[in-house]
A and B are shown apart, each in its own frame.
Chain A
């Protein structure tokens, strides 16, 4: 059981380049999330999805797009990389339904992105 898999692990981009961060989960979870982690800022939610075909914005969505065509995959696209997007990005998934213990989130290992 692989859990949540993120690729790539590291990436260096030039300003203005675009890229897609991949995230896949094999736990049949309905809910998926993208976070960025910056020193002193904790984790901030970028976008999330409650099921295939449904996405919504989180706290810091600007400069990022997502789509959810399948239950398993939730890619994050950087449209035009900026130095402010230098960060560590985490994908997470959850069975869903916050009113029970099912909103426990399972995290991938992260993608470390530098924009130069």
Chain B
């Protein structure tokens, strides 16, 4: 399997704290995306970072990408109970056809009020 790996598998924090999730992947990529999945729902796109970018921000989200280490991190600042969800990274390989994404196994985030 060429799936990426995410770390940690589960993370529990208090509201107001920051949450950091890491993703590692195996192949050279065109871009890396992060998705969120609330319990019992489909995935929702959060942010995309291209292979020539090192950092990107969107609201309380900060994504970094280190292509030399084949890794990315997602930081959620000032977390809220509503951020409780599973978070997945997904990569598009440079040799991929059809826009296929390779998903990591996800990090389950629990934010306690």
* A residues adjacent to B (C-beta < 8 A): 4, 31, 33, 35, 40-45, 48-50, 56, 58-59, 90, 92, 94, 96-99, 101-110
Contacts and interface: CB of A to CB of B under 8 A. Distances in A.
A105 B100 CA distance: 9
Contacts of B3: 42, 44
A101 B96 contact: no
A90 B100 contact: no
Interface of B: 1, 3, 30-31, 33, 40-45, 48, 88, 90, 92, 96-101, 103-106
B99 A43 contact: no
Given A42-B3, A97-B99, A101-B48, 18 more contacts: A35-B103, A40-B105, A42-B103, A42-B105, A42-B106, A43-B43, A50-B98, A58-B100, A59-B1, A90-B42, A92-B42, A96-B98, A98-B96, A98-B100, A103-B31, A105-B45, A106-B45, A107-B44
